[in-house]
Amino acid sequence: MLAPGAVLAADVIEGQRIYNQHCIGCHGPGGHSALPNAPHFSRGERLMQPDMLLLATIKAGKMTMPSFNGILRDQQILDVIAYLRTLQR
Ligand code: HEC
């Protein structure tokens, strides 16, 4: 068990696994968006924000994006965010 408040380094490999399961349908393989209105992470769109702000948005949901609160843990979402930050080409 982890000490409360322990700060873990994000796991990009785990983030990729979660992305491919929960996000790829809309945000596309490698962040090449599959929807006209979803940001292209491959172009770094919407990623010029701190992790904690992205975390809050992903938990809350936005427009057609569902809320992931209760579906993914904060650490899992932070892993996905770390993966998103590797996609820009
Ligand atoms: C049902 C489709 C759908 C799924 C599934 C989805 N998204 Fe999104 N996402 C969107 C759309 C559409 C937007 C753009 C919302 C807007 O601003 O109009 C968006 C926006 C975002 C943004 C930008 C938020 C901002 O600040 O504007 C991030 C980051 C994001 N999604 C991450 C994720 C992650 C991570 C997952 C998987 C855990 C995910 N999304 C799953 C459709 C989806």
**Which residue has its alpha carbon closest to ligand 1 atom 27?**
46
The reported pLDDT for the residue numbered 9 is 83
User: From CA 64, how far away is CA 79, in angstroms rounded?
Assistant: 22
Residues facing residue 19 across a β-bridge: none
Domains of the chain, residue spans: 12-84
In the predicted structure, residue 59 carries a pLDDT above the cut 80:
yes
- Domain spanning 12-84: which CATH class is it, in words? mainly alpha
The reply to whether the predicted model has a pTM over 0.85 is yes
The reported pLDDT for the residue numbered 4 is 61
Q: Which atom of ligand 1 is nearest to the CA of 22?
A: 37
28 lines ligand 1 (CB under 6 A): no
DSSP 32-76: --SSTTS--GGGTTT-SS-HHHHHHHHHH-BTTBPP-BTTB-HHH
Place of tokens 């393989």: 29
DSSP H or E segment with residue 4: none
* 1-50 pLDDT per residue, tens: 556 655 668 999 999 999 999 999 999 999 999 999 999 999 999 999 99
